[in-house]
Amino acid sequence: MKKYFASVHKKIYIGLSLLGAAILYLTVVIPKLGIHISCPFRQVTGYDCPGCGMTRASLALLEGDVHQSFRYNMLVFFLLPLFLIYYILEKKGKHKQSQMLMATMLAMTVLFGVLRNVKPFNWMAPTDL
C-alpha cells in the first residue's frame, strides 16, 4: 500500500512541476524575454493546426478571461473533459469504450484542424474579440 501512495505522490509532484514550469513559461519567459514557440505547421503551410492558439488561450485563462481563451482554441474545452472520461474508463478496465472515446477525440481533433481553415468555419480560427 505504501508503494501505491508513493507512486501517486510522485505523479502528483511531476504534474505540479510541469504545471509550474508551464505557468513560468507563460507568465515570465514569453512576456519578459519575448521567447515563444511558433507553430511549425503554420510556418510551412500557412494554415492553423488544431493546437494553434493554445499559448494565447493559456495566457487568457491565467488572466481569468475564459471567453477569450475559448476564442483562441475551443478544442481544448471539449477534449479535456473527454480525456478525463477516457482516463476513468481506462482505470475501470473498460478498454473497448476508452479506445472508442480516444478514436472519437482523434477524429474531433483532425476535423477541427481541417474546418478551422475552411471559409465557412473560419470562426474557429484563433482570433481576438
* Judgement on whether residues 57 and 2 belong to the same structural domain of the protein: no
Helix 95-115 and helix 75-91, axial crossing angle in degrees, nearest 10: 170
C-alpha cell at 116: 478551422
With a cut of 90, say whether residue 28 has pLDDT above it.
no
Structural domain count of the chain:
2
> Three-state DSSP class for 36?
coil
With CA atoms as reference, report the closest residue to 59 among 26, 31, 107, 34.
Answer: 26
Rounded Cα distance between 19 and 33, Å, is 20
- DSSP designation for 47: S
Indicate if 32 and 93 belong to the same structural domain.
Answer: no
Residues 53 and 25 in one domain: no
Give the residue, 71 or 33, on which the prediction is more confident: 71
Confidence (pTM): 0.75
What is the pLDDT of the chain when averaged over all its residues?
87
In this structure, the answer to whether residues 29 and 47 fall within a common structural domain is no
Give dist(CA 65, CA 71) in Å, integer.
10
Same domain for 22 and 75? no
Kindly state the average pLDDT of the residues 86-100.
94
Are residues 31 and 87 both part of a single domain?
Answer: no
| Domain of residue 77, residue span | 39-129
How far is it, in rounded angstroms, from Cα 60 to Cα 78?
A: 17
Same domain, 58 and 25: no
Q: Is 112 exposed, middle or buried (0-12, 13-18, 19+ CB in 10 A)?
A: buried
Q: Confidence band (pLDDT; 50, 70, 90) for 29? A: confident
